Structure 1
Amino acid sequence: MQGFYQRADAIIGLANSQLGEDAHSGQVGASLLYAAARYSASVASIGFVKGDDFAKEKDDIVEFYVKQYRQMLSDNLTDYAQNFDQYININKQS
């Protein structure tokens, strides 16, 4: 599980490095969401031989990823709310 969080933190670090005069957090967040969707589509396609077969599974694939994202987002929003003052101070120090 440690590797899971290390990879996530590395991706967050990369996203944070994109912040600046040319991109605010909303723009970087949108790019990150797009990248996650594009990567997930690639991962989901593994094992399929035909595009038609892959397309038939689209709704189930979307449902799976949306369910996972919803749970992860909910968990992180709860964590952020419970640790709000600490996280705000971390963000101000950066």
Structure 2
Amino acid sequence: MSETQNNDDQKFWETIDTFINQANELEKSNQDRFQMVGASLLFAAARYNTYLVARANGNKEAFLDKKDEAKEYFIAQFTKMLDDNIADYESNFDKYRG
């Protein structure tokens, strides 16, 4: 693995940790509405990824042409990530919830 790849991987995990830490802080200040934090993260991810697709395609026609492909990609990625995290949590449930 190249040094660039290692740096990108490290930055990827650091960025994830930043979002999770922020979500944990938001949950503390919204204890009676903790599910709002998760829903907000999902909405933010959808909005930001839509922006990335629009930016990558330059004009409305190109954006609309790529819309379904982008949706399929993001749905597949989310499903894989969710499945991986559920499996990890299942294996480490007592450790994570302890």
Q: Which TM-score bucket, shorter chain as reference?
A: 0.7 to 0.9
DSSP 3-state at the match of 2:57 = coil
Distance 1:86 1:65, change over 3 A: same
- CA RMSD of superposed structures (Å): 1.4
TM-score, scaled relative to structure 2: 0.83
CA distance 1:21–1:63, change in 2 (3 Å): closer
Q: Which has the higher contact order (CA 8 A, sep 6+)?
A: 1
Please identify runs of 4+ aligned residues in structure 1 that moved more than 3 A: none
Where in structure 2 are the equivalents of 1:1-94 lying within 5 Å? Answer: 1-19=9-27, 20-21=29-30, 24-89=33-98
Instruction: Answer 1 or 2: which has greater helix percent.
Output: 2
* Alignment size in residue pairs: 89
User: Any gaps of 5 or more consecutive residues in structure 1?
Assistant: 90-94
Using the TM superposition, give the Cα deviation of residue 30 of structure 1 relative to its aligned residue in structure 2, in angstroms. 0.3
Q: Distance in 1 between matches of 2:75 and 2:63?
A: 17
Q: TM-score with structure 1 length normalisation?
A: 0.86
State the distance in 1 between where 2:91 and 2:53 align.
Answer: 34
Q: Which residue identity is paired with 1:52?
A: E
